[in-house]
Structures are given as structure tokens and as C-alpha cells.
Amino acid sequence: MVPFCRALALSVAFTSALARERVDTHIHALPPPYIEALEAAGGDPSGFPTPQWTLEATLRSMDLANTQVAILSLSTPGIPIAGTGEAARSLTRTMNEYFGNATSLPKHTARLGFFGVLPDWRDVNGTLAELDYLYSEQKLCNGVTAYTTYGDRLLGDPLFAPVWDRLQRYKALVFVHPGTLTVAPKFIASSLAQPIVDYPLATTRTAVDLVMTQTMRRCPDVDVILSHAGGAVPFLAGRAIGGLALPEIADAVGYNALGAAKDFARFYYDIALSTSAAQLHGLLDFADASHILFGSDFPYVPQAAISTLLAQYATFVTTDARGPLVSPARLRENSLKLLNRHALGKAF
């Protein structure tokens, strides 16, 4: 209890001096039309409870965390819950209009942005059309959200090549969030929902896929944010890179270790639910500190848990020799530089 109390005291002292220092790139919104579609489809198939959400609650959470800017996104299962037809396309547009209107209000414009919503990528034409709407017509988003898988396809699947070509044309920022997936065998403990273990591993698999399919190499102007410190990427990417030292694997993949290492170095990482010393050291061992961003994962992470994670993070920043590398000021600088590089109009 004493270490936690000390950490909490550090957090309070540390954050109270920041005056809305943070920029949160992993914070979700659940607008009413989306909740209606989710309930009509039988709820979240991941097994994780869907939290209550309002825009006012988001702003309160931001104030409590000393967050100045938040980039809202639609969490999993997202639009794929509505299928790949016209109903899903209509829901996508409704969400983007909601986000565009909410973040354009004078009282919100300096504090809120959003990652545009896309259909299930298996609806390739619908996805391309929505990208054109977001970037050529609406021109308000700060990037787009993509899920780690669509059906049984990872993001580097050849079916999705036209989507990546369009993202490259628009020099887009892509926030990759774990998506609902089919996993077998399932955990015997039925309460162990997919976000607990499966989601970080899903992020790991699609990140490796994006490198090994050379999707990252073909899209030099697209930046990609990986959720939750990249899952196990900091710990397992070395195995993927090292595997390419074997001629048989390198020939089969059509890539070499040097190219893969350069592509892995391009990813950005938020620290939502990833504030322990082990996680932060692992991330710093693998990624450049300039590619680390802050994320709260509100409202899927309740406010009490956010406060605990902030206390843990503050302890690392204030007591660890590498803490200054991930200080709130550094993460803020990283986020603003990335967001403003991809700004369509409004910059923070």
C-alpha cells in the first residue's frame, strides 16, 4: 500500500503542475447511432463490456488527466459489426459526420480531433469512397482508424493494397487498433475477454505482417500508430527481423533483415495500458523515444484505473534514469509533431 500511495502522491504532484500538458491519441467515443447498431448486432463479440459514454464525460476525464488535446476514435468492433453492405457504409458516414460536427464546435475545436471512421476493409470500394470523402470533401480528420484484422485477413493482405495506395496518396496517419478476431482454442475462463490477452497479440501479428509484406515500404508517407505499446512488438519483432537472416526465409518473404528493421523503426506507439517499468523499458529498448505517444483508452479504461496508471507512469518518469525520455512534455511534443504533419487544416 505504501508504494502505491507514494506513486499516487507523485502523480498528483506531477500532473497538477502540467496544466493540460497531455495529448491523448488513444481515447474512444461511442456515439448513440453506433451503440444502437452494436446492440442490434448482439453486442461486442469480444466479450468485453461496453462502457457508458458521453462527450461531456470525455472532457471531464481529460481535465482529470491534465489532457489538453484528445483525438477521438471509434473502438472495436466498430463498423464491421454492421457487415459490408450499404447499411455499414451509411453508419460509417454517420459516424464521420458526428465526429466532424462535434470537433468543429467552437468550444471543442482547440481540444478535440478525430480519427476518421472507415467501413470493413473487405468492402474495398466503400473504404476507398470514405477515404475520398474524409480527405477530399470533409477535410476535418486527423487520420483514420484501422483494425488489426478484417475477417481472416491481416492489414497487409493483397486485397487491401488499393486501400493502402489511397492512404499513401493522402499521406494519411493510421491509428491501428486491435479488432475482434476468431481465436481457437478460446480461454476456458469465459470472463477473459479478448482485449485482455488476444488484442495485444493481434497488434503484434498485423505489425509484423505490415513489415513482411512490405506494405510499410510501399507507403513511405503513411505513418502508423500501434496501440498499447505495440502489444508484443518490442519483444518479438527481433525474432521476425532475425528470421530474415536465414536465406530460406528471406527468399520466401522477398525481404532482408536490414529493410525489415528500417520499416519496424517507422511505427509509432501509444502507451495506453502500458505504463509499467517493464513495458516502458521494453519500448525504449526497441523504439526511438520520439515515436512514443500518450493514450488513456477512456472510457474502456475507467477513470479510477486511468489515475492508477498515471501514478505508475509518473513514478517511472520521476524516479527512473530513462524517465525524461517519456516525460509528458516529450510525449506531447511527439504527438503534436505527428498530428500536425498530417493535419488537413486545423493544427494543434
- The domain that contains 279 carries what CATH number? 3.20.20.140
**Per residue in 100-125, pLDDT tens?**
999 999 999 999 999 999 999 999 99
Dihedral sign for Cα atoms in the order 260, 153, 301, 329: positive
Confidence of residue 139 (pLDDT cuts 50, 70, 90): very high
With respect to residue 348, please indicate whether it lies within any of the assigned structural domains.
Answer: no
Within 8 A by CB and 6+ apart from 194, the residues are: 46, 47, 48, 178, 180, 181, 183
Which is higher by pLDDT, 4 or 28?
28
The answer to whether residue 116 sits within a structural domain is: yes
- Report the pLDDT averaged over residues 283-296: 98
Q: Residue range 135-161: average pLDDT?
A: 97
Would 279 be classed as within a structural domain? yes
C-alpha cell at 128: 476507398
If one counts the domains in the chain, the total is 1
Render pLDDT for 26-72 as a digit per residue (tens, 0 to 9): 999 999 999 999 999 998 888 888 999 999 999 999 999 999 999 99
Cα 343 from Cα 185, distance rounded (Å): 43
Q: Report if residue 346 sits inside a domain.
A: no
pLDDT at 265 over 90: yes
Out of 10-19, 61-70, 112-121, 201-210, least confident range: 10-19
Q: Which domain holds residue 221?
A: 2-341
Does any domain span residue 21?
yes
Give the global pTM: 0.93
Q: What average pLDDT score do residues 230-258 get?
A: 93
* Per-residue pLDDT at 260: 95
pLDDT reported for residue 342:
97
- pLDDT tier for residue 20 given thresholds of 50, 70 and 90: low
pLDDT (tens digit, 9 = 90+) per residue, 173-193?
999 999 988 887 888 777 788
Q: What is the pLDDT of residue 5?
A: 52
Mean pLDDT for 270-289 is 98
13 has pLDDT over 80: no
Q: In this structure, is residue 148 part of a structural domain?
A: yes
**Reported confidence tier of residue 15, pLDDT bands at 50, 70, 90:** very low
Contacts of residue 171, defined as CB under 8 A and 6 or more positions apart, other chains included, come to: 221, 222, 342
Residue 173: name the closest of 342, 335, 346 by CA: 342
Q: Which residue has the cell 464521420?
A: 96
* DSSP collapsed to 3 states, the chain: CHHHHHHHHHHHHHHHCCCCCEEEEEEEECCHHHHHHHHHCCCCCCCCCCCCCCHHHHHHHHHHCCEEEEEEEECCCCHHHHCCCHHHHHHHHHHHHHHHHHHHCCCCCCCEEECECCCCCCCHHHHHHHHHHHHHHHCCCCCEEEECEECCEECCCHHHHHHHHHHHHCCCEEEEECCCCCCCCCCCCCCCCHHHHHHHHHHHHHHHHHHHCCHHHHCCCCEEEECHHHCCHHHHHHHHHHHCCCHHHHHHHCCCHHHHHHHHCCCEEECCCCCCHHHHHHHHHHCCHHHEEECCCCCCCCHHHHHHHHHHHHHHHHHCCCHHHHCHHHHHHHHHHHHHHCCCCCCC
In a domain, 347, yes or no: no
Nine cell digits for residue 86? 450499404
User: In percent, how much of the chain has pLDDT > 90?
Assistant: 84
Q: Give the pLDDT confidence score for residue 16 in this predicted structure.
A: 43
Average pLDDT over the chain, rounded to whole?
92
